[in-house]
Amino acid sequence: MPEIVNIRGLQKKFGKFQALNDVTFTVNAGEVVGFIGPNGAGKSTTIRILLGIIKRDAGIAEIFGKDVWKESLEIHKRISYVPGDVTLWGSLTGGEIIDLFLKLHGRGNQQKRDYLIKRFELDPKKKAKGYSKGNRQKTGLIAALAADSDLYIFDEPTSGLDPLMESIFQEEVEKLKAAGKSILLSSHILSEVERLADRVAIIRQGEIVESGSLEELRHLTRSNVTLATEGDVAVMAALNGVYDFEQKDNQATFSVDHNQLNVILREASKLGVKKFESVPPTLEDLFMRHYEG
């Protein structure tokens, strides 16, 4: 599978502050990669380096196999970008700004523009200074989504949008995905990433601490189990690979290492299982595990 985005050992310092220490991940063709991490971890810095807005100190950063700093123009012909905080010229209308962005992009699609304006319920005749945060964000999104690109970079794209608009955005991203486009989606909203992303990369203090498909990541961690038995469920607490054990009457909830699942099931069956539920970890669980530990 050809790599659309290729980042290896990326480093960036601002003065004395080491913003990026060692960022490594890839986005393959036709793939949606979720890029998650808390504020200040280096998500936006990484994206700005990818866009050629700031220059890296060390490491490799390529899009379409081209260097993001030296060949930014070639790259920019085929990408679209939405920042997390879209700022607009107050004296221009939303419609004018979208047209301008599409023109400067070069591969804007007028029908898609009109369709998206309707879909996102944006008033294109209003001057941008009168727009709320959500409407500014919509303007940026429409301009990006209406352009025909091969890679879409979204930096917390839905901040300020209501849940309805958020889900419209997600539907539009799914359409792009179905059309074989690649997407780098940086987001706080983990449910959004969970719904859309094939793979995730988790960044913390300028380093990628985890990356892989959600399936793989889940495997590395524990599932949450609810178990009710006829016998005394308390004996389960002593088993290897059982954590956070809590008991109420003869029902217990605990988390369990996947490689211990077999042993635990065997022990549970000795007690006479009345109820067994296993829930795979949510992305939020994964995320929290990395940041609490």
Partner 1 sequence: MEEKFARWNTLFLIYLKRDWKKMIVWILGLGLFSSAYVPAFQEISKGKGLMGMYETLQNPAMIAMVGPTPVETAGEYTLGALYSHEMLLFCGLFAMVITVLHVVSHTRKEENLGLTEIVRSFQVGRQANSLATLVEVVFINILLALFISGVMISFEADTITVEGSILFGASIGMAGIIGAGIALVMSQLMPASSGATGAALGIIGLLYIIRAGTDISNVDLSMLNPMGWTYLTYPFTGNNWVPLMITLIFSVIMMAVAFALEGSRDMGAGYLHEREGRERAGKSLLSVQGLFIRLNKGVMISWLIAFIVMGAAYGSIYGDMQTFLESSEIVQQMLTHSGASIEESFTGTIMMVMIGLVSILPIVLVNKLFTEESHSHLNQLYATRVTRSRLYWTSIGLAVSTGLVGILLAAGSLGGTAISAMGDQSMMGMIDFLAAGFNFLPSVLFFTGMAALTLGWAPKWGKVVYIYLAYSFLLNYFGGILDLPEWFAKTAIQSWIPRLPLENFNTLVFVAITVISIALMIIGYLGYQRRDLVEGA
Does residue 7 bind partner 1 (CB under 8 A)? Answer: no
Q: How many residues bind partner 1 (CB under 8 A)?
A: 45
Contact window for partner 1 (CB under 8 A) among 21-29, 140-148, 156-164, 277-285: 140-148
Q: Name the residue nearer to partner 1 (CB basis): 144 or 283.
A: 144
CB of 127 to partner 1, least distance (A): 5
Provide CB contacts within 8 A for 286, sequence distance 6+. Answer: 202, 210, 217, 218, 221
Which positions from 33 through 62 interact with partner 1, judged by CB under 8 A?
48, 51-55
Binding partner 1 (rule: CB under 8 A), the pick from 10, 33, 61, 93 is: 93
The site map against partner 1 for 105-124 (x = CB under 8 A) is xx-----------------x
Q: Name the residue nearer to partner 1 (CB basis): 77 or 175.
A: 77
CB of 99 to partner 1, least distance (A): 3
Does residue 136 bind partner 1 (CB under 8 A)? Answer: no
Binding partner 1 (rule: CB under 8 A), the pick from 130, 180, 231, 272 is: 130
CB of 110 to partner 1, least distance (A): 9
Binding partner 1 (rule: CB under 8 A), the pick from 39, 87, 111, 262 is: 87
Q: At what angle do helices 133-145 and 94-105 cross, to 10 degrees?
A: 30
Q: Compute CA distances 114 → 57, 109, 177, 222, whole Å.
A: 42, 9, 21, 46
Report how far residue 195's alpha carbon sits from residue 34's, in angstroms, rounded to the nearest whole number: 10
Contact window for partner 1 (CB under 8 A) among 30-38, 137-145, 157-165, 263-271: 137-145
Q: Name the residue nearer to partner 1 (CB basis): 46 or 223.
A: 46
Interface residues with partner 1 (CB under 8 A) are 48, 51-55, 72-73, 76-77, 79-83, 85-93, 95-101, 103-106, 124-127, 129-130, 140, 143-144, 153
